[in-house]
Structures are given as C-alpha cells and as structure tokens.
Structure 1
Amino acid sequence: MNYRFPVRVYYEDTDAAGIVYYANYFRFMERARTEWLRDLGFEQDVLRDEHGIVFVVRSARADYLQPARFNDLLWVTGEVRGHSRTAMTIGQDILRQDDEKLLCRGEIGIVCVNIDSFRPAPIPGIILEKLKHAD
C-alpha cells in the first residue's frame, strides 16, 4: 500500500440500514486519488490548464467484503499496479482504521487524455515515477 487517505463515514454516505451505500466507496477512492496526486505536488486543475491533460476513469471494479457504517474511520489506499504510456491501473483498498479490517477492494483503470481532443495522451513521466515510488 503506497498511499493512505483517512475518511470518516458521514450520515449522508449511508443507506437506510446505516451502512455505506455501495457507490460511495468509489467516491472515497476518487477522493484518495485526488489527494494522493496533491500530496505529490500535482493539482488536477493545473494539469488541465497548463499541461492540457486530465485523468479519466476507464474502468472501475469493487469487491465488497464487509460493510462500513456511520461514523467509522476508514483508510483508503492507493497503489499503482500497472501502467502503459497513457494508462494505469490503481489498486485501492478500504479498511476500517481501528482494526485494519479490509472492507472493500477496488481496481480503477485510469487513462490520461488530452483535454481538447479527449484522445489518449502520454502520462507525464514525473507523475508516474512519483506515484510508483511514493510511500
């Protein structure tokens, strides 16, 4: 696990049974990926405005193993599992902080695209290097 981002489960994240609504796990993962880039010195709006690229989700998969509940403190992790010139696969786990219990395991396919053409664009090498070597 290269990166850990803390998340607290709010009431708005839960369903009528008081557990996290399944789609919200993807929101937690997105938030962690954004903060991971930010922690490495890359703001997504700067990448868009100054470099003409954005990262888009190509695929998203999740295995729900245990429920997260209202007020739980979670860790959302991020790890580069593979990459090509224009795409990468990010493994993301969600664990409860107090017992490190794995609640959800996800895999997100990300593609770097040119903002004008929306065609695949090379991932800047400095971003890949920092992501792969972040601890």
Structure 2
Amino acid sequence: MQNSALSNINVSSTPGHFSIVLRVYNQDIDAGRMVYVGNYMNFMERARTEWFHHLGLNQRFVERHYRAFFVARDLHLDCFSPAYLDDVLKVSIRVKSLGRTKMVWAHTIERDGILASADLTAVWVDLKSLKPVAMPPEVREKFQAEFERRVLPEAALQATV
C-alpha cells in the first residue's frame, strides 16, 4: 500500500503522535504578508497525508480497494499567532477520538509555541452513496493502535516504575 519513492519531507513520529516540518512559501501568505488562515488547513492536510503513508495507507489505493474514503465533517480551528514567509513550521496530528465510522484528529501548528490548533472530525463514507459506513477492520486497526499509543511520556514512565 505504500509508495516506495523517497520523500523529502521531514517527518517524526512518537507513539500516537505524528509531525511534519514545512516552510511557508509566497503562495501561502496574503496581502498582509501573513499565512492566509485557509492555508493552515492545507498544512494540516499535508500532515495527514504523510501520516497516512507512514501508517501504510496510500489514500488512492484505499479509495480504490475499499470503495470508501474519509470526508471532513466538522472543523474547529483556533488561530493564536500568525506565521510568516520563510517560517519553518511543525505540523502535528494525533487521533483524539475514534468510533466505528468517524474519528477526530487533533492538529497543532507550531513555531516557537503553538500558532494554531484544530480538531477535524472525519467520517468514513461509501464512495457511491456518500453515506457513513464502518471502517474496514484493517484500516481502523491502524488508527486504533495510534489512539491507544497516545499516552503521555510521563504516564508511560510511571507505568514502568
């Protein structure tokens, strides 16, 4: 399911948490020379796509094989501080909640602290009817593993003591 081509995207993964690093380009900023708010969603999409590949879920293959895919249902975005041209941003994602047909992904965008955070609710839908259906077990298991591994490092240390 994974593309074997090398990626030039800087990624990092810790239990239950995935991040990419990207730079702000001219195309990302508005007339005020700040990142246009809509582009924060583009940055989060890039992180999700890389995370899916990291999990072994090539989105095109998944859509064709299962005849279903994720659709964004709800987005709550909080912007705290602007990003600017040439900034290097860390965009992170983790599973916040997981159900049979939907999940909530928590995103953060950072540069010397959190610039923006968002919760995105995604629903697994049938390709033809566009109605919610249960995620296939092999797809859900990958997210379930991430959801279960989102333990804070200090809690994990306490569990081993």
Q: TM-score, normalised by structure 1?
A: 0.91
Q: Which has the higher contact order (CA 8 A, sep 6+)?
A: 1
Shift of 1:117: 1.1
Contact 1:79–1:132 (CA<8 Å) still a contact in 2?
no
Aligned residue for 1:7?
22
Shift of 1:129: 3.0
In 2, Cα distance between the equivalents of 1:128 and 1:77? Answer: 20
* 1:116 matched to 2:128: yes
Q: 1:91 aligns with which of 95, 100, 106?
A: 106
Larger Rg: 2
Q: How is 1:94-109 mapped onto 2 (pairs within 5 angstroms)?
A: 94-96=109-111, 99=112, 101-109=113-121
Q: How is 1:123-134 mapped onto 2 (pairs within 5 angstroms)?
A: 123-134=135-146
Q: 1:20 aligns with which of 2, 25, 35?
A: 35
In 1, Cα distance between the equivalents of 2:24 and 2:45? Answer: 15
Number of matched pairs: 132
Shift of 1:131: 2.9
Q: 1:76 aligns with which of 67, 70, 91?
A: 91
* 1:46 matched to 2:58: no
Shift of 1:121: 1.4
In 1, Cα distance between the equivalents of 2:91 and 2:137? Answer: 25
In 2, Cα distance between the equivalents of 1:123 and 1:14? Answer: 37
Matching residue's letter, 1:126: E
Matching residue's letter, 1:113: V
In 2, Cα distance between the equivalents of 1:38 and 1:127? Answer: 12
Aligned residue for 2:82?
67
Secondary structure of the residue aligned to 2:69 is strand
Identity of aligned residues (%): 35
**Deviation digits for residues 89-118 of structure 1, max 9, x if unmatched?**
00000001xx3x100010000000010111
Q: TM-score, normalised by structure 2?
A: 0.77
* 1:56 matched to 2:71: yes
- CA RMSD across the alignment: 1.4
Unaligned runs of 5+ in 2: 1-15, 150-161
Contact 2:75–2:118 (CA<8 Å) still a contact in 1?
yes
Aligned residue for 1:30?
45
**Deviation digits for residues 33-62 of structure 1, max 9, x if unmatched?**
111001111111111111111111001111
